[in-house]
Structure 1
Amino acid sequence: MPIPAVKRLVDGSQPPPRPGPPQRVHWQHTYASITGSNGEGEEIPLTGYSGNRWPAIFMQDGATGLDTPPYELHADDSPNLDGGLFRGVRATQREIMIPVYIYGIDRRTLLEQKRELARALNPKNGYCVLKFTESDGQARYLNAYYKGGMEGNESSDQSGFRWIKYALLLTAYDPWFYSDEMRVAKWSFGQGVPFLGRPFLPLRLSEGYKSAVTLPVYNPGDVEAWPVWEISGPVKSFRITSQTGQKFGIPSATSGGDVIALGRTLRIDTRPGVKTLKDDRGTNYYPDMEADPKLWSIPSGDSTMTVDVVAGSGQATVTLTFKPRYDSY
């Protein structure tokens, strides 16, 4: 028969206290709202009340499509081997269904609520912004276009004299949620400043002096983020390289002058569907890029990048901005 053993400490000290049961954290219900006209319209609450707003539009149980987006897998089949060979994956557009209940204290207020919601959802006025806020106060935003659900059903279980139910159907072509947080890093040639909240060695450049510095980057999102760079002259040449070796930049001019003049700011927008390189006067710098440029994204988590710059006479600055992206609210 097994004999139970008691662990004794050699030095005679008392064993550490056993942890108690986990404490439940008070968590309020999720706040949800919808805003039309590319996010410029009036915010319509879908849960709870906003001030003295009554009657209200209620989001009911049964919403779908609000967690991880669908994925499309790509693979090659082999005639001689079992299965297939994985090639890649991409997130596809997100289909969303939100059941809502509209109640009015009389017929007139019901009709006003219906018209307000229909006006906000009209895709000819732009996309809608779905907002979800948990008890920790962090909001997440998803851009989606209305596609159906408000056609109406006058059956007795779907509508009445002062109420009606809809199942709103929306499509988010960009399937990722965004937050209010904007990650911004700025440093000046000649004075080091914190980079994305993490310090790095001071970067000091003089005229014609070339410096390649490896810098840490942290992306708190669930997936890669596409940054916007702003480079203010004077700069004779620059190159920015990712951790995986993807790079873009502008080489030195044959005349030996500045490729970004003093007082000019080049904005490099790497976001999909944008991909522009223009300064504050609208001049296009894309033809000046080095061969085969890659406007790369910042991966989730910790990574590094290398900034290689030849500064002109004066002080130049580089600013990096991006919004983290999340797979759910």
Structure 2
Amino acid sequence: MYGATHLEFVERWRQLARAFTRTLRDGPGTLKVARPDGTARTIAVYYQDGWDGQGSRSASSAIFDSAVLTLLCEDPYWLDKQPVMVHREYGVGADFLVPYPTVSSSQVLGATTVTNPGDVDVWPEWTITGPASLITFTREDTGDSFVLDPTAVGHGNLLAGEQVTVRTDPPQVRYQDGSNWIGALNWPSATLWSLPPGSTDVTFQLDGAGAGSAVDLTFYPKYETA
């Protein structure tokens, strides 16, 4: 950090110090590393120490100093700035040869493969759009699953256009108006499973699905390094 004068240097030093140390009071800041190809990875950080400076004794010490910072990362993994999003919706498959060669949508509900390009497991967020009476999500390689039953919270079946969002870490279920629907999950057998690196076969099953029914899965890949 430098300045044309001692006072300019001190002002800059204090401003940047404040930006880091405020994380001790206001919550973590975001450190981002961007690459020339436009990709970037971020990590949530807290200031730990190092803002005392190096205390240079050169003639320029009145207008120049450097800090070697230590930052605390509660989650040690870097996040991709671009989320992975998977959309599946209600659709009816068609016989390829009847009455003539026909291609069905690959985005229909049911069995699908989700790819995690990161280095570690991620915990996705799910948004379910009705109509639906019972929603089941299954990770095929482990058999882990969870079921969302709207009637368990006294709502009744999801109507067309109604939405529920399920977060897997920390567990959270919210109806579109923000109300808490955590009781709609099939506790205690519900397992809000993660996605490991690579490809994973999963199944989205929506009982009572119809036109407009959809599932949207979103996650940010995590990496060991920036």
User: How big is each residue's C-alpha offset from its partner over 1:100-148, in whole Å with a ceiling of 9 and x where there is no partner?
Assistant: xx12121122112112211210221332221212333321111110011
Aligned to 2:99: none
Quick check: which has more Rg, 1 or 2? 1
Contact residue 134 and residue 207 of structure 2 kept, 8 A: yes
Letter of the 1:284 counterpart: N
Matched, 1:168 2:65: no
Aligned-partner Cα distance in 1 for 2:150–2:126: 19
Aligned to 1:245: 143
Three-state SS of the structure 2 residue aligned to 1:103 is: coil
Q: Identify which of structures 1 and 2 has the higher relative contact order when contacts are C-alpha pairs closer than 8 Å and 6+ apart.
A: 2
Letter of the 2:51 counterpart: M
Three-state SS of the structure 1 residue aligned to 2:119 is: coil
Aligned to 2:173: 277
Contact residue 119 and residue 223 of structure 2 kept, 8 A: yes
Say which of 78, 88, 108 aligns to 2:7.
108
User: How big is each residue's C-alpha offset from its partner over 1:222-277, in whole Å with a ceiling of 9 and x where there is no partner?
Assistant: 111111100011211010001311111124848xx843233321000113xx3100
Contact residue 89 and residue 107 of structure 2 kept, 8 A: no
CA 1:179–1:126: 2 relative to 1, 3 Å: same
Say which of 205, 213, 219 aligns to 1:316.
213
Aligned to 1:132: 33
CA 1:282–1:252: 2 relative to 1, 3 Å: closer
Structure holding more helix per residue = 2
> What does 1:58-207 align with in structure 2 at a 5 Å threshold?
102-122=1-21, 123=23, 124-152=25-53, 154=55, 156=57, 160-190=61-91, 201=106, 203=108
Q: How much has 1:200 moved relative to structure 2?
A: 6.6
Q: Which structure 1 residue ranges, 4+ long, deviate > 6 Å from structure 2?
A: none
Three-state SS of the structure 1 residue aligned to 2:9 is: helix
Matched, 1:263 2:161: yes
Aligned to 1:286: 182
User: How big is each residue's C-alpha offset from its partner over 1:8-66, in whole Å with a ceiling of 9 and x where there is no partner?
Assistant: xxxxxxxxxxxxxxxxxxxxxxxxxxxxxxxxxxxxxxxxxxxxxxxxxxxxxxxxxxx
User: How big is each residue's C-alpha offset from its partner over 1:160-199, in whole Å with a ceiling of 9 and x where there is no partner?
Assistant: 110112111110011000122111111221278xxxxxx9
Scaled by the length of structure 2, what TM-score is found? 0.83
Aligned to 1:196: none
Aligned to 1:300: 197
Aligned to 1:231: 128
Contact residue 224 and residue 298 of structure 1 kept, 8 A: yes
Contact residue 237 and residue 249 of structure 1 kept, 8 A: yes
User: How big is each residue's C-alpha offset from its partner over 1:204-228, in whole Å with a ceiling of 9 and x where there is no partner?
Assistant: 7xxxxxxxx2101111111111111
Letter of the 1:116 counterpart: Q
Structure 1 stretches of 5 or more lacking a match? 1-101, 193-198, 205-212
Aligned-partner Cα distance in 1 for 2:54–2:89: 62
Structure 2 stretches of 5 or more lacking a match? 94-103
Aligned-partner Cα distance in 2 for 1:154–1:319: 53
Aligned-partner Cα distance in 2 for 1:326–1:152: 31
Three-state SS of the structure 2 residue aligned to 1:166 is: coil
